[in-house]
Every structure is written in structure tokens, then in C-alpha cells.
Amino acid sequence: MGFPWGKLGLLCVDGFSVLESNPSYLESRVDAIKNIDGFNTVSVISICLAFPRVLYDNDKMDGLLSDLKVLFLDYDLLSCVEGGDIDAVVAVCEKIKSFYDRGCEMGRMGDLMGRNKSVFIEHSRDVLINKIEYFRKLEVRIEQNAVFLLSRPEIFYFDLETGVVSISGFLKQLGLSDKELECHRQKYPHVFGRTRLANLPNAMRSMDLGKWFFQRMKYGNHSLLANCSTNCTEDVDRQYEEDIRKILAKKTHAYAIKKLEFLQGIGFGENRYTVKALVSLNGSGDQLLR
């Protein structure tokens, strides 16, 4: 059937093992995918290796094959894959799979993926997953998340880890009024100050602004994320910086860093409330994360 011996282990999933299956059945299934859907041999083998369920779960995988047919044939994705061999095509299929693994509905993604096929060629699987997970923190439906990202493929080039933003400054840029801003500052003082861009979704969610933030990104403000630098000087809390320096100078600084990461992960910003919480927080960072 053409499957590389070194990759047969990929076909064993959810109790299904190709080594225990009837060779005639497998061959007929591969031929059916090839003949009915029009894929070439490299495409079929690669699809089976990335999505082994297509070999035994026919009904549930029809939607997937429909999407892949649009992507591979209508939009000619295969012609964009450098080398075009099984290893290269499997790698692309794994990138496509990262969207389905996170809840995208099979049978509804083909055209959107096809129109933005460059995403699967130009970026690594880790980059795709990181961006999906970044916006997933806002607790919006995965379909909305996927449509948003694939409709704005430039986001996959953004560095959403190292930049620093002022919460108040960013909210103003997104259109929050002074009155609304002050209301949120009074209600969620621990969030304000500066925060790393990586923690921005956590901050928005902790203020119950996750969906609002997503809508602002969806309707054109996503470019703001590309303009965040590591030397943001707005809302710098010098006392916070001094207190953190003292804490990190102690022998127990490794535990303090873990606890600080935990606090940032639930929306705390660079301010005195974070320092107070850090000092009074019991348990190691790993225990808190659990």
C-alpha cells in the first residue's frame, strides 16, 4: 500500500492497530479514499498517517476528507509543499490537524483553510498551536477563534510572548472610555500596571473582558498586538520593580518566580497588589498550578 515501515506506528490509535487489521480491508479503504476523493498516492498515505481514523471510522471522517479534498485539490496545497514527499506532506497534515484537535468541526473548514493555505506552509506546527491557544484563553468558541486566525494570517507572524503593554493604555486604544476604565481600575486593581503580552488574555479574562477583547481584535485592532515592544515605559511601577528585585535576590527566588508566574497566569499585573499576593501566597508554584 506504500506506507513507510518506519511510520506504521502512527496508524495505531484508539485501540485500532494496522498490524492486526485485514490487509484486504485496509487496501480497499485506501483505494476508496484515492478513487472517490481523487487524492494521489502521496496525499492518501500522508492523510492516513496524520489522521489514522480515516481507515476505520468512515462515517465520522467524511467531513474531514471533504475539507482535505477542497484544500488539496481545489486549492492545490500539494504544489506548495517543498519536496512533496510523504514526510513533508505528513508535516503539513499535522499542522492542519492542530485545528481539528482543538475543536474545529470537520466538514466546515476546507474553503477557509484553502484560501489561507500559506499558513500551513510558512509556519511550524508549534507556532500554529501557540497562536490558537493564545486566543483560546479568551474563552471564545473554537470556530470563532479559527476563523479569526485564518482570516488574518499575519497574526501568525506576531511575537505574542516578549512584548510589554500598559493595561490602561491598551484598553484606551481599544476604545474603552475614561469612565469605563476607572470603573475597571476600581474593581480590578490587581490587573492594572504593565503586563507581558503573553499574559494579556489572562488579564482581559480576569476583568470579564475576554469576549469584548476578542471582538476588538476581530474587527481590526489585532494590529495593536504587533506594535508592543519590550521597553514600554507607560505605567511603570518602580516600587513593584524594586520589591520584585529584593524577592528574587533571596535564596528562594526559584519558588518566587513560579508563584509570580501563577499570579500572572490569572491576570495579575505589575503592581503592589501582586507583590502582596506573592508574599502571602502559600504553596509552591507547581502546587498552585495544580
Q: What is the pTM of this model?
A: 0.87
**Tell me, what's the pLDDT at 287?**
57
pLDDT of residue 7: 74
pLDDT for 290 equals 55
Residue 214 to residues 19, 90, 202, 204, 220: CA-CA distances in angstroms?
46, 32, 12, 9, 10
Q: What is the DSSP letter of 105?
A: P
Say which range, 150-154, 181-185, 280-284, has the weakest mean pLDDT.
280-284
- Reported as a pLDDT band with limits 50, 70 and 90, residue 12 is confident
The more confident residue out of 20 and 252 is: 252
Alpha-carbon span 56 to 60, nearest angstrom: 10
Q: In the block, which residue shows the cell 489561507?
A: 116
Q: Is the predicted pLDDT of residue 131 greater than 60, yes or no?
A: yes
The dihedrals phi and psi of 16, each to the nearest 5 degrees, come to -95, 130
Average pLDDT over residues 144-155: 92
Determine the pLDDT at residue 236: 87
Cβ–Cβ under 8 Å, residues 158 and 198: no
Distances from the Cα of 226 to the Cα of 33, 58, 151, angstroms? 42, 43, 16
Least confident of 31-45, 77-91, 112-126: 31-45
**Which of the residue ranges 195-204, 264-273, 276-285 would you say has the lowest mean pLDDT?**
276-285
* Span 55-64, average pLDDT: 82
- pLDDT of 55: 84
Instruction: Enter the C-alpha cell of residue 189.
Output: 486593581
Q: Which residues pair with 118 in a beta bridge?
A: none
Using the 8-state DSSP alphabet, how is residue 195 labeled?
E
Say if residues 205 and 267 touch (Cβ distance below 8 Å). Answer: yes
Mean pLDDT (the chain) is 88
